[in-house]
Amino acid sequence: MSEQGSERQKRSEIDRRKFVLHSVGLGAGALTLSRLPKARSRRNQQAAGTPLVVTSHSNETGGEAMRQAWEILDGGGTALDAVERGANVIEVDPEDSSVGYGGLPNENGVIQLDASIMDGRTYNAGAVASLENIKTPSSVARLVMERTDHVILVGIGALEFARSFGFQEEDLHTERSRAAWLRWREEHSDRDDWGPPDHLRNLPSPGPDGRDANRDANSGATGPGTNSGLVDQPLDFHYGTTNVLAVDSNGDISGITTTSGLSWKVNGRIGDSPIIGAGLYVDNDIGAAGATGRGEDVIKSCASFYIVLRMGQGRTPQEACEDACELIVQKYRNVNPNFFPSEKFVAVNKAGEYGAASMGNNRGRPRMTVRNAESLQVHEGTTLYTG
């Protein structure tokens, strides 16, 4: 290995250790502000032209994804290659139930993936929706962008397209995702007949309306980025997606949003992730934004486009993410004041600032992993409207 290569490897190892240390701290609830440089400041700025890459994932895989994406940026590579690498790391992780391999399936037990990619430099975009059996939908989306004159391919068409480029079809279920789905199928309704007969189940007495009066009380709260307790706890709907956004040393900007979508969704349902302007938007003159959470809200508000638009009007990424939360909450406030949406937005701008905001969930402040020339760190944004 060249001296430069081994130096880079050494640096990555150090980065990885730093990140792991940090993750352990998070897991133990020992997050201290001193370990999060600039975490509370509204302007998280680095020098213009300095590369950075971020993801909405804040777990260890998110850290590894950023480490690998950073290697590309640090070596002078493009934002486009960096976001693809970062997204692929998360997509192939079998432990991650929100994206790619091992993602949670739809109501029929079929894992249908949505992904989009946007290249600010060429103002080009590609996406796939309801794609089955391919672990890395973001790479298929990239080919849609680069090798067709279209933006979105869906279902069997997307699969045939992927196959034609040599992508291998694989069962995307892990033992864990299948067990979660089987369990959901047995528990999802208090009126259906899945699962063992009542007299063989160890249940409290059925409530007036159904088989299991305790189901709601036992249901764990779920929210953006959630993928814990899949097998041990009663299952409700789970959200989870990843956004990867990057600025390279030329100042070019790219982004990816990739997901297995809302768990147990109706067969064929497409969320916001493959819709340019909703789950992802990039403007090379301004910045990039991505969304996770209830896709239906994000589609209707064109949230990622709105965030980039607001940044173009002078708002920081942090403020623009909050603006999108505000927009959605205001719309629902007129319709149902008791409804609290649960989206999370992340954004970066051309100057290397970044931010995150979420609303309506009880899981604390939204986190994102950020890698720039300074550090690899987990940044906490703001939570609004927690209900």
Q: Which is nearer to ligand ASP, 300 or 333 (CB)?
A: 300
Selected from 262, 275, 328, 348, the binder of ligand ASP by CB under 6 A is 262
Q: Which is nearer to ligand ASP, 194 or 339 (CB)?
A: 339
User: Is 222 part of the annotated catalytic residue set?
Assistant: no
Stretch that binds ligand ASP, among 66-74, 123-131, 138-146, 258-266 (CB under 6 A): 258-266
Is 290 a binder of ligand ASP (CB under 6 A)?
no
- Tokens 């949505």 locate to 114
Which two structure tokens, joined as six digits, stand for 95? Answer: 């432990």
Phi, psi of 128 (to 5 degrees): -130, 150
Is 272 a binder of ligand ASP (CB under 6 A)?
yes
Distance CA 87, CA 116 (A): 11
Q: What is the DSSP string of 103-143?
A: ----TTS---EEEEEEETTTTEEEEEEEE-S-S-HHHHHHH
Nearest in space to 167 (alpha carbons), one of 141, 145, 148: 141
Which two structure tokens, joined as six digits, stand for 59? Answer: 């777990």
Q: Which is nearer to ligand ASP, 113 or 376 (CB)?
A: 113
Is 349 a binder of ligand ASP (CB under 6 A)?
no
Selected from 293, 352, 355, 381, the binder of ligand ASP by CB under 6 A is 293
Give strand ranges (E) for the chain: 52-55, 113-119, 124-131, 152-154, 242-247, 253-259, 280-283, 287-293, 343-349, 354-359, 367-372, 376-380, 382-384
Stretch that binds ligand ASP, among 6-14, 126-134, 203-211, 235-243 (CB under 6 A): 235-243
Q: Which is nearer to ligand ASP, 258 or 382 (CB)?
A: 258
Residue 99 CB, nearest distance to ligand ASP (Å)?
Answer: 9
Pair 364, 382: CB distance under 8 Å: no
Strand order in the sheet with 354-359: 280-283, 287-293, 343-349, 354-359, 382-384
Stretch that binds ligand ASP, among 78-86, 148-156, 206-214, 289-297 (CB under 6 A): 289-297
Nearest in space to 322 (alpha carbons), one of 296, 346, 287: 346
Pair 198, 210: CB distance under 8 Å: no
Helix axes 3-27, 60-74, angle to 10 degrees: 150
Is 271 a binder of ligand ASP (CB under 6 A)?
yes
Residue 174 CB, nearest distance to ligand ASP (Å)?
Answer: 18
Residue 14 CB, nearest distance to ligand ASP (Å)?
Answer: 32
Is 120 a binder of ligand ASP (CB under 6 A)?
no
Is 224 a binder of ligand ASP (CB under 6 A)?
yes
Is 295 a binder of ligand ASP (CB under 6 A)?
yes
Is 297 a binder of ligand ASP (CB under 6 A)?
no
Catalytic residue among 241, 242, 259, 383: 241
Nearest in space to 15 (alpha carbons), one of 88, 64, 54: 64
Residue ranges binding ligand ASP (CB under 6 A): 224, 239-241, 259, 261-262, 271-273, 292-295
Residues forming the active site:
241
